Amino acid sequence: MLDLFADELPWREALAEGAVILRRFATREACVLLALIAEVAKQAPFRRMATPGGHTMSVAMTGCGERGWVSDARGYRYSRLDPQSALPWPPMPKPLLQLAKRSAGEAGYTGFHPDACLINRYEPGAKMSLHQDRDESDLRAPIVSVSLGLPARFLFGGATRTAPTQRCLLEHGDVVVWGGASRLFYHGVQPLRLGNHPLTGAYRYNLTFREAG
Ligand code: SIN
Ligand code: FE2
């Protein structure tokens, strides 16, 4: 059953200027990626962060690489230390870094050197409201986003919060890359539906690679 999908060849779908979905681009290495996520989470456990507005995010997060994205009452930012342990984030495992670089290259962005990999874990009902990724210091680098496990409805809008959104189902192994003209486009994830994925059970994982520093 799994082999059937592992053999599916990747294909691409244009999303907007500068943005593309690389369907199934990460399927072959998904097992390795999930094992590495588990390793990272041993050192920097998943946690639901507080928003500046005083809510608790429904998505549980951790990260690896030189910098990690954090949110608390003071705002959103990148930090070299995991605030929970006061230790540096676990280093970014090579296969993750290489997948990010290959994905960016495939989408036409050469020389991508991510220093941050945010790891999102969605449980049923977890969602991410429309937002821009704009905490990075240099906005010339793209965003590379890898989906694993249960499928989710991804919303991809435009330069303003009220711009029309496209809704695409992101499935296990799909990679979205956006940069250039769409680097600051609003995006979000609709509440995860109940399900049971053979590799991740009731969860969806998302890896978001960025040049943060
Ligand atoms: C994000 O925008 O940080 C997450 C996107 C996703 O989970 O697909
Ligand atoms: Fe985002």
Which strand (E) or helix (H) includes residue 114?
none
- Which of 51, 129, 189 should be mutated for ligand 1, with most atoms under 8 A from CB? 189
Q: How far apart are CA 100 and CA 154, in angstroms?
A: 19
Paired residues of 47 in beta bridges: 61
This prediction's pTM: 0.96
Could you tell me the residue range of the domain that residue 47 belongs to?
8-210
Q: How far apart are CA 122 and CA 150, in angstroms?
A: 9
Structure tokens at 156: 């991809």
Structure tokens at 13: 């779908």
Nearest CA to 157 among 19, 25, 51?
19
Q: Is residue 149 part of a domain?
A: yes
189: helix, strand or coil: strand
pLDDT tens for the chain, 213 residues long, are 555 555 678 999 999 999 999 999 999 999 999 999 999 999 999 999 999 999 999 999 999 999 999 999 999 999 999 999 999 999 999 999 999 999 999 999 999 999 999 999 999 999 999 999 999 988 999 999 999 999 999 999 999 999 999 999 999 999 999 999 999 999 999 999 999 999 999 999 999 999 999
133 appears as a binding residue in the annotation: yes
Nearest CA to 84 among 70, 101, 95, 74?
70
CATH number, position 31: 2.60.120.590
174 appears as a binding residue in the annotation: no
Q: Is residue 51 part of a domain?
A: yes
For residue 9, what pLDDT is reported? 85
135 appears as a binding residue in the annotation: yes
Ligand 1 atom 2: residue of nearest CA:
188
AA identity, residue 58: S
- The b/e string for 144-181 (b: 16+ C-beta within 10 A; e otherwise) is bbbbbbbbbebbbbbeeeeeebeebebbbbbbbbbbee
Q: Is residue 37 part of a domain?
A: yes
Query: Alpha carbon of 121 to those of 128, 132, 213: distances in Å?
Result: 11, 19, 24
Ligand 1: list residues with CB < 6 Å: 120, 128, 145, 147, 154, 170, 187, 189, 206, 208
Q: How many domains does the chain have?
A: 1
Q: Is residue 1 part of a domain?
A: no
Q: Is residue 2 part of a domain?
A: no
Q: Is residue 3 part of a domain?
A: no
Give Cα 166 distance to the centre of its chain: 18
Q: Quick check: 33 and 47 in contact, CB under 8 A? A: no
CA 6 – ligand 1 centroid, Å: 23
Ligand closest in space to the Cα of 155: 1
Ligand 1 atom 3: residue of nearest CA:
208
Q: Is residue 206 part of a domain?
A: yes
Which strand (E) or helix (H) includes residue 162?
none
Q: Is residue 154 part of a domain?
A: yes
